[in-house]
Amino acid sequence: MSKNSSRGLLGAVVAVLLLAAACGDSGSSDDDGAASGGSTTETTVPDEGAPSADGPAFEFRPLDAGGPLTKAALENGDIDIALLFSSDGAIAANDWVALEDDEDLQPADNFVPAVRTEVNTPEVAAVLDAISAALTVEVMQEMVAAVSIDGENPADVAGEFLADNDLPGELVATGDLTVGSANFAESEVAAELYAGALEAAGATVERKLQFGARDVYIPALVSGELDIVPEFTGTLLSFLDADAAPSNDVDEVVEALRPLAEAQGFTVLEPAEADSVNTFVVTAETADDLGLETVSDLADVDESLVLGGPPECPEREFCLVGLEEVYGLTFDL
């Protein structure tokens, strides 16, 4: 082992690296502009109608996918804008403001019941449609917050909602049904809503909640182990057809979804207004101070804001790429 010579070499390498680091840092402001300018001009051709931002370039902080890190950063003021899921209970709990996606950047991912075709009687469909019709973004957020933040039981939260809204009303359903759900709060709450309403309508319901991820519960739905699961339109479409590019129009997505689902032996009913899409969220103070209601309003902001999102954000249409191309914002990476 020629330890001594390798040590000398390594020492030389670190010296060069440190030198380079020092130079690189002092010159990085110039490099910055050139690098991000170079990469964006290739990929970004702003829409005709896209507003051009006059304000300074925004910054991006790579954090997590709508997870605790992003939410803590927004809470602490480390970031100004967070990319979260619209159904995230934290939005309602913190009085945060979800900016309206007024240029329809995000694909439609609305709550929708998926029912095994064999058990999908008109009565069952009527009860589930009644639930979907009552599910707005706001009520879903509140229910999810009650479960994931306040630790309440999904069944209690769902039961309260059904009682308050007099659901399922006069509707009647019969049969033995098994309701499953995915392993997160949004799905569990929706499943409890379906199960509770069907029980109130007269059906016998077995619950298999927290059944697993989509790769587990869709095969169970196809095989008949489950009869009803809550789904999300866009994600389910992508799951059934990897090449599908779900649009931001929920009706289009559902139209594309239905034949694919029928081919597997289950039916996609009417989607709810409530959805679980990527949403740009700001604190109430930020919204007040800067007069923000829609994502477009960000283009008029004349200070540099910091966006926090998942690490893949700079490469993704739903995040930084869309903000630049559709909303005309600029980011200094």
Partner 1 sequence: MDFLREVGVWFNDPANWSGGRGIIHQLYEHVRMSGGAVVVAMVLALPPAVWLGHRRRFGTVAMNVSNVGRAVPSFAILVIGAKLFGLKELPLVGSLTAMLALVALAVPPLVTNAYVAVAEVADEVRDSARGMGMGDRQLLWRIELPLAMPLVMSGVRTAAVQVVATATIAAFVGADGLGRFIIDGRATQDFVQLFAGALLVAALSMTTEGTLALAQRMLTPRGLRAALRPTAGPRAPGIPGSAAPAAA
Q: 263-290 burial, b for 16+ CB within 10 Å, e for fewer?
A: eeebbbbbbbbbbbbbbbbbbeebbeeb
Whose Cβ is closer to partner 1: residue 176's or residue 312's? 312
Number of residues in contact with partner 1, rule: CB under 8 A?
43
Instruction: Assess 28 for contact with partner 1 (CB under 8 A).
Output: yes
Instruction: Assess 13 for contact with partner 1 (CB under 8 A).
Output: yes
Return the residue matching tokens 């007069």.
291
Whose Cβ is closer to partner 1: residue 126's or residue 333's? 333
Q: How far apart are CA 227 and CA 219, in angstroms?
A: 11
Whose Cβ is closer to partner 1: residue 252's or residue 332's? 332
Q: Which of 46, 55, 61, 93 binds partner 1 (CB under 8 A)?
A: 61
| Sheet containing 228-232, strands listed edge to edge, beginning at the edge strand earlier in sequence | 204-212, 176-182, 228-232, 111-116, 266-268
Min dist CB 76 to partner 1, Å, is 4
Contact 298, 81 (CB under 8 A): yes
| Residue 62 C-alpha from the chain's centroid | 16
Could you give the count of Cα atoms lying within 13 Å of 193 in the half-sphere of its Cβ?
Answer: 32
Q: Which of 266, 311, 323, 324 binds partner 1 (CB under 8 A)?
A: 311
Min dist CB 24 to partner 1, Å, is 3
Q: Which of 43, 45, 54, 68 binds partner 1 (CB under 8 A)?
A: 68
Q: Which of 11, 169, 224, 265 binds partner 1 (CB under 8 A)?
A: 11
Q: Which of 35, 163, 172, 284 binds partner 1 (CB under 8 A)?
A: 35
Min dist CB 20 to partner 1, Å, is 6
Q: How far apart are CA 196 and CA 96, in angstroms?
A: 30
Of residues 70-99, those binding partner 1 (CB under 8 A):
72-73, 75-76, 78-79
Min dist CB 109 to partner 1, Å, is 20
Q: Which of 159, 196, 308, 328 binds partner 1 (CB under 8 A)?
A: 308
Min dist CB 183 to partner 1, Å, is 20
Instruction: Assess 66 for contact with partner 1 (CB under 8 A).
Output: no
Min dist CB 63 to partner 1, Å, is 5
| Residue 37 C-alpha from the chain's centroid | 29
Please give the single-letter amino acid code of residue 121.
T
Binding site for partner 1 (CB under 8 A): 3, 6-11, 13-14, 17-18, 20-25, 28, 31-32, 34-36, 38-39, 61-63, 68-69, 72-73, 75-76, 78-79, 308, 310-312, 315, 332-333
